[in-house]
């Protein structure tokens, strides 16, 4: 068992969190991760309406009696989303753990705190972590340049970002972006974190509610298989480097606007990739850690393997190198 301030604070067995992934963070995956002793997260905006989110939370509760959380990502969307109503759905459903991401969580903090919700804020820069800490969040999920989805615009990888953040952030922090195995967990602990967040790694599990082709594509791809899109709009997103991602970058190079690019990058098209396994149908998020993923285990097998190997590494190879 690896016990940290993060595991204690959130009442979980293992210091591993499943990232809030658009279209992937549904009850099947969140409950499997929580049942494995890690922290499962439902993705709020994957549900088309706040009412659907209420139903999904209820469905997840029927699948696990362990703690799980809900992610709320506040980034530009093609169609405006009623964030306040999603927050109400989360609170009314009795959820006690929320992962905020994409923007300053300050406007939502009074309501969440009043409802006794613990907030993990995911961010990509030390200064953003500090301002979230000041706004009263309970923990930080620091997301390095390696990550899938939105890495921010500073391009600082985790070997520097995490210890720089750990130097100044006092509340518990977990490491996100590039984590897929025991070596990552041990490194995160060494870099000043109290756990890891994994997205892409949990996509390649038996329970992830996505097409088998996506899982196999993650296994067969490597650390060079991603592309960075929407850089020209300061809304960078790391996605699988398929023909649609390449086309997006080409259109950005031609100075096209989000209105012109929107139809090909729309999340609604990416959803079809996960449903049908047509890997060129749209944009889908994936991280550089694809280079570390070689199998499709169950969430339980994955979580237990990471923790077991991390313990062996700390007690064995690392302790021995100290004695030598």
Footprint of ligand NAD (CB under 6 A): 21-22, 45, 73, 75-78, 149-150, 230, 233, 235, 237, 258, 265-267, 270, 285
| Minimum CB distance to ligand NAD smaller for 78 or for 319 | 78
| Minimum CB distance to ligand NAD smaller for 102 or for 184 | 102
Which residue, among 19, 39, 40, has the nearest Cα to 28 in the 3D structure? Answer: 40
Apex CA 268: angle with CA 266 and CA 269, to 5°?
75
State in angstroms the smallest separation of the CB of 314 from ligand NAD.
30
**What are the angstrom distances between the C-alpha of 50 and each of 47, 126, 159, 275?**
7, 31, 38, 22
- The rounded Cα 61 to chain-centroid distance in angstroms is 21
Q: Which residue is nearest to ligand NAD (CB)?
A: 267
- Token readout for 25 is 């963070």
| Minimum CB distance to ligand NAD smaller for 66 or for 73 | 73
- Token readout for 98 is 């929320």
Pairing mode of beta strands 237-240, 226-229: antiparallel
| Alpha-carbon span 45 to 54, nearest angstrom | 12
Apex CA 38: angle with CA 37 and CA 42, to 5°?
120
| Minimum CB distance to ligand NAD smaller for 77 or for 276 | 77
| Minimum CB distance to ligand NAD smaller for 4 or for 104 | 104
State in angstroms the smallest separation of the CB of 72 from ligand NAD.
10
| Minimum CB distance to ligand NAD smaller for 122 or for 215 | 122
State in angstroms the smallest separation of the CB of 168 from ligand NAD.
24
State in angstroms the smallest separation of the CB of 31 from ligand NAD.
20
Pairing mode of beta strands 118-123, 97-101: parallel
| Alpha-carbon span 5 to 243, nearest angstrom | 43
State in angstroms the smallest separation of the CB of 15 from ligand NAD.
20
State in angstroms the smallest separation of the CB of 228 from ligand NAD.
12
The two most distant CA atoms of the chain are separated, in Å, by 61
| Minimum CB distance to ligand NAD smaller for 148 or for 193 | 148
At 197, which helix (H) or strand (E)?
Answer: strand 196-198
Which residue, among 304, 280, 309, has the nearest Cα to 205 in the 3D structure? Answer: 304
Eight-class DSSP state of 174: E
State in angstroms the smallest separation of the CB of 30 from ligand NAD.
15
């Amino acid at each position: 068992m690896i016990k940290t301030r993060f595991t204690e604070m959130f009442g979980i067995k293992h210091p591993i969190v499943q990232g809030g992934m658009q279209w992937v963070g549904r009850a099947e995956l969140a409950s499997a991760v929580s049942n494995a002793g890690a922290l499962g997260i439902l993705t709020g905006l994957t549900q088309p309406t706040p009412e659907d989110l209420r139903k999904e939370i209820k469905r997840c509760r029927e699948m696990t009696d362990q703690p799980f959380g809900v992610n709320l990502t506040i980034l530009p969307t093609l169609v405006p989303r009623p964030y306040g109503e999603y927050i109400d759905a989360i609170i009314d459903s009795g959820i006690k753990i929320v992962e905020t991401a994409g923007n300053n969580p300050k406007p939502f903090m009074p309501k969440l705190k009043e409802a006794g919700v613990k907030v993990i804020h995911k961010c990509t820069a030390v200064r953003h972590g500090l301002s979230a800490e000041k706004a009263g969040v309970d923990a930080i999920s620091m997301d390095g340049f390696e990550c899938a989805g939105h890495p921010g615009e500073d391009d600082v990888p985790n070997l520097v970002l995490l210890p720089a953040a750990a130097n100044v952030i006092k509340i518990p922090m977990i490491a996100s972006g590039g984590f897929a195995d025991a070596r990552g967990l041990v490194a995160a602990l060494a870099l000043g974190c109290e756990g890891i967040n994994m997205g892409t790694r949990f996509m390649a599990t038996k329970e992830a509610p996505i097409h088998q082709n996506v899982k196999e594509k993650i296994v067969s791809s490597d650390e060079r298989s991603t592309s960075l899109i929407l850089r020209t709009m300061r809304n960078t997103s790391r996605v699988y480097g398929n023909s649609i991602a390449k086309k997006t970058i080409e259109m950005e190079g031609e100075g096209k606007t989000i209105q012109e690019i929107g139809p090909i990058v729309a999340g609604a098209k990416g959803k079809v990739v996960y449903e049908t396994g047509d890997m060129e149908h749209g944009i889908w998020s994936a991280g550089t850690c694809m280079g570390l993923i070689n199998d499709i285990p169950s969430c339980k097998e994955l979580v237990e393997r990471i923790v077991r190997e991390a313990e062996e590494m700390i007690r064995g190879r690392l302790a021995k190198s100290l004695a030598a």
